[in-house]
Amino acid sequence: MTAGGRAGGRTALALARRGLCHALLLASSCLVGLPFVWMLSLSAKPPEEIFDAGFALFPDRWYLLENYGKALTEHPLLLFLANGVIVCGAILVLQILVCAPAAYALAKLRFHGRDLMFAFVLIGLLIPQQVLAIPLFALAHRLGILDTYAALVFPFIVSPFGIFLFRQFFKTVPDDLIHAARLDGLSEMAIVWRLMVPLAWPAVVAFSIFSVVSHWNDLFWPLIVIRSEELMPPPLGVVAFNDEEAGSDYGPLMAAATVIVSPLIVAFLFAQRWFVDGLSMGAMK
């Protein structure tokens, strides 16, 4: 009896602790998730309810069709999405084309100045994009590519983060595997594409998500280099809503925002498993 009571006390304590943990986690995830939920909620409300003093998650009058219809028809939202796909796709492909060979060289080849090069990569990681905006803008102007897709893509082709992540991953590949590949007749480039990249697949997926998310959501750089509406990526397009409707038409705005983030959420759900793998494996060695 006593033993049972003590054991019961212990489980109660453990339960309480776990409950507390979960309460904290729940609270913090609410904090993070609330704006998102609020966006969803607003995208379903009619204009007069949006500025209601009260707090209601669900609208009294569902206004989904009207808001989403307006978002999709009044502005070329699908065009913005297509722009986003083109720009993010181009950035990602070029980034991997540049990062994988660079990371392989830094991880597995011996040459003078390798450590110095890697130090530059690390420094590159520390410099925020905004610092370079003016020189990059000047460069784009000189190249005559302002207000084109090229202007949206070129500053991001070399990604220090990608080089760093791939290098950490490539370092864990045993040298014998590379030696075997060389004896089997693979060139250094073939080693990168036939051996290293497939082996580092989780890292490639993780990097792809990082890259796509950050460039899909980027407003700063498109705002600087893009004027034509038909070239605007999604966030810039949403800002265009805001401007012209003088901030009063929040329902369609939130509907547009929902449409814009949904591809990312779907993509993340698909790639989730590799994403976590890729980050933790990179971190371990």
Partner 1 sequence: MSAGVVLDRVSKRFGTESVLADVSLEIRDGEFLTLLGPSGCGKSTLLRIIAGLEAQDAGSVFIAGRRADRLRAKERDIAMVFQTYALYPHLTVAENMALPLKMRRMCLAQRLPGIGRLWPGRKAVARSIRDDVAATARALEIAHLMHRKPGQLSGGQRQRVAVGRAVVREPSVFLMDEPLSNLDAKLRVVMRAEIKQLHQRLGATILYVTHDQSEAMTLSDRVAVMHRGTLAQVGTPQAIYADPENLRVAEFVGSPMINTLSAIVASPSGVVLDGVALPLRTGLPAGGAVTLGLRPEAVSLAPAPGAGLLNGTVRLLEHMGAELLVHVALDGGETLTAKLDVARAGLVAVGRAVAIRPHLDQVLVFAADGRRLRCADHGGAVPASRGARA
Q: Is 105 in the site for partner 1 (CB under 8 A)?
A: no
What are the structure tokens assigned to 275, written together? 């994403």
Q: Calculate the CA 105 to chain-centre distance.
A: 26
Q: Is 97 in the site for partner 1 (CB under 8 A)?
A: no
| Shortest distance, position 201 Cβ to partner 1, whole Å | 8
Q: Is 230 in the site for partner 1 (CB under 8 A)?
A: no
| Shortest distance, position 92 Cβ to partner 1, whole Å | 18
Which one, of 211, 180, 206, lies nearest residue 279 by Cα? 206
Q: Is 180 in the site for partner 1 (CB under 8 A)?
A: yes
Q: Is 179 in the site for partner 1 (CB under 8 A)?
A: yes
Stretch that binds partner 1, among 136-144, 158-166, 181-189, 205-213 (CB under 8 A): 181-189
Most distant CA pair in the chain, distance: 85
Residues 182-211 that bind partner 1 (CB under 8 A): 182-186, 190, 194-195, 198-199, 201
| Shortest distance, position 174 Cβ to partner 1, whole Å | 6
Please name the amino acid found at residue 203: A
Q: Is 255 in the site for partner 1 (CB under 8 A)?
A: no
What separation in angstroms does the CA of 205 have from each of 113, 165, 168? 30, 11, 15
- Count of alpha carbons within 13 angstroms of residue 205, beta-carbon side: 20
Distance, in Å, from the CA atom of 141 to the CA atom of 257, rounded to the nearest integer, reads 31
Closer CB to partner 1, residue 170 or residue 216? Answer: 170
Distance, in Å, from the CA atom of 123 to the CA atom of 135, rounded to the nearest integer, reads 18
237 contacts: CB under 8 Å, gap ≥ 6: 75, 76, 77, 79, 80, 83, 229, 256, 260
Size of the site for partner 1 (CB under 8 A): 17
226 and 232 Cβ atoms separated by less than 8 Å: yes
Q: Is 111 in the site for partner 1 (CB under 8 A)?
A: no
Coil, strand or helix at 127: coil
Closer CB to partner 1, residue 102 or residue 200? Answer: 200
| Shortest distance, position 199 Cβ to partner 1, whole Å | 6
Q: Is 115 in the site for partner 1 (CB under 8 A)?
A: no
Residues 143-162 that bind partner 1 (CB under 8 A): none
Q: Is 181 in the site for partner 1 (CB under 8 A)?
A: yes
Distance, in Å, from the CA atom of 119 to the CA atom of 125, rounded to the nearest integer, reads 10
Q: Is 134 in the site for partner 1 (CB under 8 A)?
A: no
Please name the amino acid found at residue 10: R
Closer CB to partner 1, residue 166 or residue 221? Answer: 166
**Binding interface with partner 1 (CB under 8 A):** 174, 176-177, 179-186, 190, 194-195, 198-199, 201
